[in-house]
Every structure is written in C-alpha cells, then in structure tokens.
Structure 1
C-alpha cells in the first residue's frame, strides 16, 4: 500500500510539473509593456498581441504593465517578466544589470530610430536659455527621450530650471504643459505623417483637440535607436524563437498593425543585437554617468 501511495505521489508530482511548464495555461509567459502612456490603452492593445502570440504558437502569454520603467527592468532580473517591449535606456540597464538581451528593434515606416523633444506652451519661452528658472517635467529617470536626451542637452547648454519633477508618462508631461502646471517638459518625438504630428502630443489630442496649436516643440533631441523587444536571461531558446517569430508577423494584419501603432507608434519589428544600442552607452559616457547612477 505504501509503495502504491509513493507511486501515485510521484505521478501527481510529474503531472503538476508538466502543467506548470512555461507557456502553459497554468504558467503563462509574462510579457511586460513599458508604461510610457495610459496603462488602459497599453493593456487593451497588449491583449490583441497576447491573443496573436497564442494563435500563432500555442503558447499562453499574460500581458502586464508594470508601475514604472524601472519595474520592467527589475522584472526581467527577477524572472517575473520573461519578455518585454522596453524603452531604450531601460534595456541598457536590464542588459548590464541582469544580462537581458535585445532581440528585435521597433520599426516605424522603415526607420528604427526616434527623437526626443522639449515642449512648451509658455509664450515667454522662445529658446533653451529661457528655461532657466522655470518649472520643468521629465517622464521617468529611466526614459531615454523623456529624460536622458533632454538632461544631456540641458547640461551641455548649462540650463538650470528652478524646479524639476518626473511625471511618470509621456502623456502626463504633455497634459501638464498644456494646462500650464509646468513651463516645459521632455517627451518623445516621431516624424509627422501626411502632415499630421505623431509626437507625444497625439496621446492627448482627443482630450485636448487644440494641443498641437497650444503646445509647441521648442527643440528636438536625439536621434536614438528605437525601443527593443528584450528577453530575460535563460529564457528557453525554443520559446524565445516562437515569440520572436510571432512578434515579427504581428503587424501583417490590419488589427495587428493598428495595435502596434496604438502601443508604441510602430509599424513592425526587425532583428537587432546589443551593439545597436552602443550609441546610448556613448551618450552616458558623454554625460559622465553610468547605468548605476540611474538605479535607485
């Protein structure tokens, strides 16, 4: 009887292990989306990507939008995140600290780079020097376009605002500038399409239809390589290959193309390597900083 019970326990153990295999329904792959804009928008479109991956690969995936840029990095390190679309500087952190790897780079109409911008609605601000003594908002300390590029420019130009804050998201910075709560801020920029601006102001145009007239671009910063798709250390290669293949084909359908645009203003992905992000490392060196300076 004792032998039978031991046998049954072993069978149950094996069965439980099989059920918890990564990519199974009981242990879905954790896919994080960097929280650069409204979390509801990210989750709504992320769910479309989640379903696409399952339909193409049979793998179960669970989308998540962590509370901050750094939370995505730390998730990759703790294996609470298996794969992520992360901001450029966040990837540099995740690679150096946790050996995460960039596998794909975002593409927008054939381009794999984007810019930062400094925006304002204050008529008294006509040049960078006018930012001295003013209130300024960045996005997040780990944001490339929403912090790093603007911080370097302000350092180079010896610009010293009277007050600096972090709004957390690109749309929050635009809103604060629009409402006059701050004098200027840093967000991302992508080129206009068919005469229609596609920078961070577009994130709030439904709420503030006159945002393009009221909020203007004071200065562009960059360019920098686009956001990558990053996998954690020791993600099984066969799972990684399936995920990457599904992501590459996501923009091939009208629904997928729309979701990619809504997520991070992309039209697709292409292969990349860690070397594609060396320019960002050089930017840090030029600032006299290292990744550790930005990790709290």
Structure 2
C-alpha cells in the first residue's frame, strides 16, 4: 500500500511538472513571439533583409517579441491562421478574402502606395512585339503571378473574361518580378502584375523590381492596359488577439512607415509608402467581385 501511494505521488509530481513544461507562454514573449507573416511577392532576399529592420523596430517600440517569417505562398499564409501559426500578416487582397471567410481574420491597416489606397493590375508585353491591345492576347501565352494573387491573377483574369479574351496558355511565375523577367526574355508573349503610377519621372510598377538586372526594361517592356481599381492589400490580425496588442502593433507600424528607413523597407517589401487604418467593411467591394470569380462551394 505504501509503495502504491509512493508510486502515485511520483506520477502526480511528474504530471504536474509536465503540465508546467507544456504550459503555453504568454503571446509576445521570447518563448512565444508574435508570429508576423509576409507574403512572398518579391525577391526572398529583399523580404528577408528588410524584415529584420521591421522586427528590430517593432521590438524597440512595443513590449513584444516578434518572429517574422516568409511562407512559400499566399495560401500558406492563410492556412497559418487556421493552424495557430500566424498572428499578424501583410497579405494580398484575395488572401485576406480567404482568411477572413475561413478564420475571421481582421483587416486593421491598408497599404497606401504614393497617396492611393486602391490599386490596379497592368498587362505588359514587349515593346517590339505585335501585341498592342488586350485583344491581341487572344491565343497567346500569358504569365501570371500566383493563383491567389489579386493584382497578378484574379483581377487581370476578370478583365480578360469581361472582354471574352482567352489566352492559348498561362503560366504562374510566383512573383511579380519573375513575370516581368519572363516577358523581357521572351519566354511568354505577355503578363500581368501590379501597377503603381510613376513618381517624379520614375516607374513604380512591377518593372522597377528588375531594373538592376535589366536597366532598359522600361523601354523593352511596356504597359498595354490597366484593370479597374480595388482596395490595396491589408495588414491583418488573428481575431482573438488582445485588442490592446493589436492597437500597439498598429501604432508601431504607422510610426515605422513614417520614418525614412521604415518607408524604404515597407516600399521594398510591400510597395507601401504609407499605411492607413481600415476595417473589414473596406473590402466589401472585393467580396462582391469575387463572387463572380470564385463561386461558393455547395
């Protein structure tokens, strides 16, 4: 009997210690940092280098620790919210549509690009090709970014469907600069990427991403047409995060993009020159559009 009681005590102590060991640490601590995801929309090294600048600023200007990661795709960012591996994310508009629908993820900030809170897609082709208008894409090979990219796939696809234009073949390059490169290298006839208007005589659309490799890209690859505008990409939060935590992170991000170093980093990572506070209601027009593009599953 004594041995049995001793054994039970040992087991009880072991279970108690195990419970303490596996107790989840408070979010925002070194042991359980806030998991901030960035979408892989530009070169991975550019994202990685500038994410370190962002992480350092956030940890200096909030009481929290952060882990900034770059998943393999837009869809991976969305699914990270479903598996509790994401707390905050800078995500594309379609990714937000999916994340909000599936996991009640909340938009709190919207990217501003050179004073605009909306954006458009652009269709590109080589300047020396016979493609001059969208109608010329009929039966051609066209490059898109990613199946979950609003500006690099869904919005231009809607434009083509509205005009009843059907390419012969489509390919996914997985990021915007790769689409431009494929056009430049004649691997495809045309392609679709995000568009931003020129600033101070300099291009700010996706072609700028490859100007170091191809200094003449502006002359060799030209814009054919633009799509209709929709709201810019949001920065989103897991719904059940503490409200105080969301507010402090939003405040820090707004302060970060207001600094010269922060604006440069956000521009390189997200094409953002500023941020503004927003809510889910700002994306109602996107949901209406996507009802025709992505039918509800019955």
Secondary structure of 2:246 counterpart: helix
The residue that corresponds to 2:3 in the other structure is: none
**Inter-partner Cα distance in structure 2 for 1:165 and 1:184:** 11
The residue that corresponds to 2:93 in the other structure is: 88
The residue that corresponds to 2:55 in the other structure is: 50
Do the aligned partners of 1:93 and 1:291 also contact (CA within 8 Å) in 2?
Answer: no
Secondary structure of 1:222 counterpart: coil
The residue that corresponds to 1:33 in the other structure is: 38
Shift of 1:17: 3.8
The residue that corresponds to 1:160 in the other structure is: 166
Shift of 1:236: 2.4
The residue that corresponds to 1:181 in the other structure is: 187
Given the alignment, which residue of 179, 201, 205 partners 1:195?
201
Shift of 1:292: 5.6
Given the alignment, which residue of 218, 222, 229 partners 2:235?
229
Question: Cα 1:202–1:154, aligned 2, differ >3 Å: closer, same or farther?
Answer: same
**Inter-partner Cα distance in structure 1 for 2:270 and 2:287:** 22
Secondary structure of 1:235 counterpart: coil
Do the aligned partners of 1:76 and 1:231 also contact (CA within 8 Å) in 2?
Answer: no
Q: How does 1:71-220 map to 2 (within 5 A)?
A: 71-121=76-126, 123-220=129-226
Deviations 1:9-61 (A, max 9, x none): 8588558747x221111111110001111111111111111111100112110
Secondary structure of 1:164 counterpart: strand
Secondary structure of 1:115 counterpart: strand
Secondary structure of 1:80 counterpart: coil
Kindly report the root-mean-square deviation, in angstroms, between the aligned alpha carbons of the 2 structures: 2.2
Shift of 1:291: 6.3
**Inter-partner Cα distance in structure 2 for 1:54 and 1:264:** 20
The residue that corresponds to 1:276 in the other structure is: 282
Deviations 1:211-265 (A, max 9, x none): 1000000011121111101012312223222211111111122211111111112
Do the aligned partners of 2:154 and 2:293 also contact (CA within 8 Å) in 1?
Answer: no
Given the alignment, which residue of 257, 261, 275 partners 1:251?
257
Given the alignment, which residue of 62, 69, 77 partners 1:64?
69
**Inter-partner Cα distance in structure 1 for 2:295 and 2:33:** 34
**TM-score, length-normalised on structure 2?**
0.91
Whether 1:24 and 2:36 are equivalent positions in the alignment is no
Deviations 1:55-114 (A, max 9, x none): 011211011111011111111221111100000111011111111110111112332111
**Inter-partner Cα distance in structure 1 for 2:41 and 2:229:** 18
**Inter-partner Cα distance in structure 1 for 2:40 and 2:134:** 28
Segments of 5+ residues of structure 2 without an aligned counterpart are 1-5
**Inter-partner Cα distance in structure 1 for 2:242 and 2:48:** 25
The answer to which of 210-219 and 110-119 deviates more is 110-119
**Inter-partner Cα distance in structure 2 for 1:8 and 1:192:** 65
**Inter-partner Cα distance in structure 2 for 1:198 and 1:266:** 11
Secondary structure of 1:81 counterpart: coil
Do the aligned partners of 1:92 and 1:291 also contact (CA within 8 Å) in 2?
Answer: no
**Inter-partner Cα distance in structure 2 for 1:292 and 1:166:** 24
**Inter-partner Cα distance in structure 2 for 1:90 and 1:82:** 15
